[in-house]
Structure 1
Amino acid sequence: MFLNILLVLGTFVFMEGFAWFAHKYIMHGLMWNWHESHHVHHKGWWETNDLFGIIFGVAATALIVVGSEIESLRWLMYVGFGITLYGISYFIFHDVIVHRRVKIKFKTKNRYLNRIIRAHYVHHKVHERDGAEAFGFLYAPKKYEKP
């Protein structure tokens, strides 16, 4: 049980590093044609960038299904749970809190939350493929903290 929880939490932490890498080198690289929709103003709720979330969701679901069906691969289920937990956290932070894609009132005095929100706004100052910074989603260095 402890190892399963550790695998879920370890996968969650790994996903922040993977998301940073994917955001910087894939979304702002080869797949900019999808991600660009997230950096420009648009009408409606759908962004082509949302396809990344669908891909990660399908991958997590596949890992959970395979891990729950094949005893020797049970560990994959917990990896899928970790990816899912990260995806839920990402949705709440990125889509609900930062971009207000779900209309709720949210104000915080929490320094850490304000730091990652500020880092994300710095990231969005650049509307081009190149020249952006702050590619993390749930972590941002202290340089983004207000003095």
Structure 2
Amino acid sequence: MWIHVLVFFTTFFIMEFMAWFTHKYVMHGFLWSLHADHHKKDHDSWFERNDAFFIFYAIVSITCFYTWSIGSFELGISIGLGILAYGITYFLVHDIFIHQRFKIFRNADNKYARAVRRAHKMHHKHIGKEHGECFGMLIVPFKFYKN
């Protein structure tokens, strides 16, 4: 039981690195064509091509659940849930809290919340795929905590 808890939390924290890596080297790299609309101020619709990126991690998570369900990979449930939990967190923090796709969490005002918003704002300061910064989501550089 404890191994599942450990694997769940380890997976969740590894996903922050994976989000950073994917964002920096894939989204701002060879798949910029899918991510570019996310850096535009005006969107044609509520959905962005950028939203397609969640499908990759959803497939990985579902595969983990499946391998666990057929008995071939016991830790598949823990890894799948860790990826799912990070995906939910990403949606809540990035899409709802930062980009306000739904008008909730608008009044969150603490040092960490301000730092997350500042870091993301600095990321979006760059319209093109080059010269970006702050590719992660939950781990924010210390310089953005300053008032």
Alignment-mate amino acid for residue 109 of structure 1: D
Give the Cα–Cα distance (whole angstroms) in 1 for the partners of residues 5 and 106 of structure 2: 30
2:56 corresponds to: 55
Deviations 1:49-77 (A, max 9, x none): 1110122112211211211222x411122
Give the Cα–Cα distance (whole angstroms) in 2 for the partners of residues 118 and 67 of structure 1: 40
Alignment-mate amino acid for residue 66 of structure 1: T
Q: Counterparts of 1:1-147 in structure 2 under 5 Å?
A: 1-40=1-40, 41-70=42-71, 72-147=72-147
4+ runs deviating over 4 angstroms: none
- Matched residues, number: 146
- For residue 116 of structure 1, report the CA deviation from its aligned partner: 1.2
Deviations 1:64-122 (A, max 9, x none): 1211222x411122111100000000000000000011122521222112111110011
Give the Cα–Cα distance (whole angstroms) in 2 for the partners of residues 45 and 79 of structure 1: 31
Give the Cα–Cα distance (whole angstroms) in 1 for the partners of residues 37 and 68 of structure 2: 34
Tell me the TM-score normalized by structure 1: 0.94
Structure 1 unaligned residues grouped into runs of 5+: none
Give the Cα–Cα distance (whole angstroms) in 2 for the partners of residues 137 and 130 of structure 1: 19
- Where 1:129 maps in the other structure, the secondary structure is coil
Give the Cα–Cα distance (whole angstroms) in 1 for the partners of residues 44 and 107 of structure 2: 25
Alignment-mate amino acid for residue 144 of structure 1: F
Asked whether the 8 Å contact 2:96–2:105 carries over to 1, the reply is no
Sequence identity percentage: 39
Give the Cα–Cα distance (whole angstroms) in 1 for the partners of residues 103 and 56 of structure 2: 25
- Where 1:82 maps in the other structure, the secondary structure is helix
Give the Cα–Cα distance (whole angstroms) in 2 for the partners of residues 146 and 43 of structure 1: 35
- For residue 14 of structure 1, report the CA deviation from its aligned partner: 0.4
Give the Cα–Cα distance (whole angstroms) in 2 for the partners of residues 33 and 14 of structure 1: 26
Structure 2 unaligned residues grouped into runs of 5+: none
Alignment-mate amino acid for residue 42 of structure 1: H
Tell me the TM-score normalized by structure 2: 0.94
Q: CA RMSD in A?
A: 1.2
Alignment-mate amino acid for residue 34 of structure 2: W
Give the Cα–Cα distance (whole angstroms) in 2 for the partners of residues 22 and 129 of structure 1: 13
